[in-house]
Structure 1
Amino acid sequence: MTDAPEKRTLASPGILGCGHSLPSATCHNDDPVFRRMAQGPVDENAFDTLAFFTGADQRRRLSNGERIEAYMADAARLALAQAGIGPEAVDRLYGYASVPDHLTPNPLYELHHMLGLPRRTLVVPINSEFSNFLASLVLATESVAAGGARHVLIVCGSNWTQHVDYTKGHAFAVGDAAAAAVVGPEGLLRVVDHASETYSEQYLSMTMTVRPVNVDGHAHLPLSARGLPTPVYSMETAGNEVYQTLLQNGLPEVVNRLLARNGVSGSQVSLITHQGSRRLLDHWANKIAPGAYLESLQELGNMTLATYPVNLARHFATITTPYVVLAAVGTGCHLTAVLLENRVSRDA
């Protein structure tokens, strides 16, 4: 049995390093997988259509036989290297692999083994689609500040291209990806504040479960490579309405309130948000007016829970604004925003 980490109070934890990893296979808009979507009825007055979910030109996806866990491990190793620590220094592992092969355990436990983390490392899967990374970041910061841990590794991975209905417009932009971050003492990005709003009355608006998919007038249960029924994401009528109201207008309201109570203007912020629709990104940019918008919808599509750490990792060393805001939409349904101080720009 190994010893527990020394308990201490660290006044100023932050992100020490990031990493991301993407499948090599690229899916473009003319891919055959989208043909059923294009041939289906298009109602320009309806929400769930290609008219709304635009903006992606390509996205990455796992090839046959690939698992997102391998990319999560690659991203974690990059984050650890940038942070300048080894696996033996990790006290806690937060994050989530979505969608997991099993209801439990989450593959985050498998990742613990793949990385060779110590037995004493506490593994905590955070299932709060799509704000998993944000929630993990807040919890990691609090645990380090309280002295319960010195270094926390956060890893999120998405394999959602295997779990959407390609007759539905919201599936158009989905891509696979993984990313990681290390939180520890005196990191370059420090969590200043966070805010969340939960609309639990909309609990069933966006769901992932085993369900039949209708193709060419026939219903069937999608099967995994092992021949088992696989979960499929769905946005029912309520989900469509939520996207157009609570999520579309609520996200900038939460962000702007968070900025106001910390005396920060939009121009001081690099913004990273959910990225499923160019229409939404443009709307949020107009309402928040960030100094920079760090997004990759055209190149990488909607990476669901991995969207936030992937874009953070891609820009980690080049952010020039004094603050960063991560703003997530999620099932349940909820909105979460996190404000981070960029110590590099502060010290420059």
Structure 2
Amino acid sequence: MRGDTLSETIPDRPSTPLSDQNFPTSSPVQDIRPRARISGVGGCLPRQIVTNEDLAQRLETSDDWIRTRTGIRQRHIVSEGENAVSLAAQAARNALEQAGVGPQDVDAVIVATSTPDQVFPAVAVRVQAALGMRAGFGFDVSAACSGFIYALSTANAFIGTGMAKRVLVIGVEVFSRLLDWEDRATCVLFGDGAGAVLLEAGAAPGEGILSTHLHSDGTLGDLLYVDGAAGTGTNSVLKMQGREVFRHAVVRLAEAVDEALDANGLCGADIQWLVPHQANLRIIDGMAKRLALPAERVVVTVDRHANTSAASIPLALNEAVRDGRIRKGDLILMEALGGGLTWGSALLRY
């Protein structure tokens, strides 16, 4: 999304730590449903790195122009032998390895993507095959940049109803195949990659996925869309009204964040980590300011990954878990907005 100057700003949210608030002492009805937790994370980025300087050699743009408006300095782009399935499968393997779980113990695979390799079969069932899974089920979710939040919420529901005990949730995108590489307003914004989490039943009360919140407004679908479907023709090119998408993102993401906090009786001061969709550094910084979170408590990868759409949140989570920033017990807030328009948030205790 382009960082055009707008009159809208993200309003500050009052921050009072949970410990300073007074809550009713009456006991709520006990929830005995299985609770989901993240037991493993994984990521996979293509080998090829394309810098802003590389793009400036064939477009009327510059490193300074791109960085000032987006915060991006490079992105990963698939090359020969890499596609959505290969990236997703490797991210899944990494998540399973960290969790110490074999693919035969996974009940379902849910993949969030807008850029499948084929119209069907789904990326999820191709990943099943790549992992050697002969049981369970898999399907794809299409909600653009909000896809991972949608997939996480769906997996959480499966676990909550007892339909599954372990679900691989993967966000993967190969947006390079949908870009007009002559359009500097869009092609500089996106990158390719995959991120995965293994969601398992067994979280204690107050741990794991605390709540998820999903929204969409189809009347705004023409603000960000792709003509045609991936893999079906030469007219499958991303179109975006950058200024309008930015404007709606500012408002809708603030609403989604408030919804998650209010649903759990929390405020910004209670959050240890913000792991946002990585579309534009100005939006990320604005949300952090609204929550009164210092920069070191916000996971940022947009500078190196660009916008990897549904893959951006799990890729950022994977990086922060593996480098030791995010630890067991930390309270994490996620939020995203994408084409549709779709948007949502998730709150979890890692």
> For the superposition of Structure 1 and Structure 2, which TM-score range results when normalised by the shorter chain?
0.7 to 0.9
What CA distance in whole angstroms lies between the structure 2 residues aligned with 1:205 and 1:147? 38
The Cα of 1:326 is off from its aligned counterpart by 1.1
Partner of 1:331: 339
Q: Aligned pair 1:58/2:63, yes or no?
A: no
1:299 alignment partner, SS class:
helix
- RMSD of aligned Cα (Å): 2.6
Where does 1:140-155 land on structure 2 (aligned, <5 Å)? Answer: 140-155=155-170
Partner of 2:119: 103
Deviation sequence 1:185-217 (CA, Å, 0-9, x none): 235961111223322211222111249xxxxxx
Where does 1:30-179 land on structure 2 (aligned, <5 Å)? Answer: 30-32=53-55, 35-38=58-61, 50=66, 53-118=69-134, 120-166=135-181, 167-179=183-195
Partner of 2:23: none
Q: Match of 2:122, as an amino acid?
A: N
2:144 alignment partner, SS class:
coil
What CA distance in whole angstroms lies between the structure 2 residues aligned with 1:230 and 1:96? 22
Q: Aligned pair 1:24/2:32, yes or no?
A: no
Partner of 2:248: 246
1:257 alignment partner, SS class:
helix
Deviation sequence 1:135-176 (CA, Å, 0-9, x none): 111121221121111111112211112211231323213111
- Equivalent of residue 209 in structure 1, options 227, 248, 258: 227
What CA distance in whole angstroms lies between the structure 2 residues aligned with 1:33 and 1:62? 19
1:13/1:65 CA distance change after superposition, 3 Å: closer
What CA distance in whole angstroms lies between the structure 1 residues aligned with 2:60 and 2:269? 39
1:186/1:290 CA distance change after superposition, 3 Å: farther
Unaligned runs of 5+ in 2: 1-31
Q: Match of 1:26, as an amino acid?
A: I
Q: Aligned pair 1:300/2:305, yes or no?
A: yes
Q: Aligned pair 1:12/2:17, yes or no?
A: no
Q: Match of 2:44, as an amino acid?
A: S
The Cα of 1:105 is off from its aligned counterpart by 2.6
Deviation sequence 1:267-322 (CA, Å, 0-9, x none): 33211222222222222222232361111111221111100110111122531573
Partner of 1:196: 214
What CA distance in whole angstroms lies between the structure 1 residues aligned with 2:100 and 2:220? 43
Partner of 2:317: 312
1:275 alignment partner, SS class:
coil
* Structure 1 range deviating more: 304-313 or 318-327: 318-327
Answer yes or no: is the 8 Å Cα contact 2:112–2:141 preserved in 1.
yes
* Structure 1 range deviating more: 97-106 or 271-280: 97-106
1:253/1:97 CA distance change after superposition, 3 Å: closer
The Cα of 1:228 is off from its aligned counterpart by 5.2
Matched residues, percent identical? Answer: 24
Partner of 2:277: 274
Q: TM-score, normalised by structure 1?
A: 0.80
Answer yes or no: is the 8 Å Cα contact 1:88–1:117 preserved in 2.
yes
After TM superposition, which residue ranges in structure 1, 4 or more long, deviate above 4 angstroms? 49-52
2:275 alignment partner, SS class:
strand
Q: Aligned pair 1:256/2:255, yes or no?
A: no
Answer yes or no: is the 8 Å Cα contact 2:113–2:143 preserved in 1.
no
1:85 alignment partner, SS class:
coil
The Cα of 1:244 is off from its aligned counterpart by 3.2
Answer yes or no: is the 8 Å Cα contact 2:209–2:349 preserved in 1.
yes
Q: TM-score, normalised by structure 2?
A: 0.80
1:33/1:103 CA distance change after superposition, 3 Å: farther
Q: Match of 1:253, as an amino acid?
A: E
Answer yes or no: is the 8 Å Cα contact 2:95–2:196 preserved in 1.
yes
2:290 alignment partner, SS class:
helix
The Cα of 1:338 is off from its aligned counterpart by 0.6
1:34/1:250 CA distance change after superposition, 3 Å: farther
1:12/1:209 CA distance change after superposition, 3 Å: same
The Cα of 1:90 is off from its aligned counterpart by 1.0
Answer yes or no: is the 8 Å Cα contact 1:154–1:180 preserved in 2.
yes
What CA distance in whole angstroms lies between the structure 1 residues aligned with 2:235 and 2:174? 12
Answer yes or no: is the 8 Å Cα contact 1:271–1:324 preserved in 2.
yes
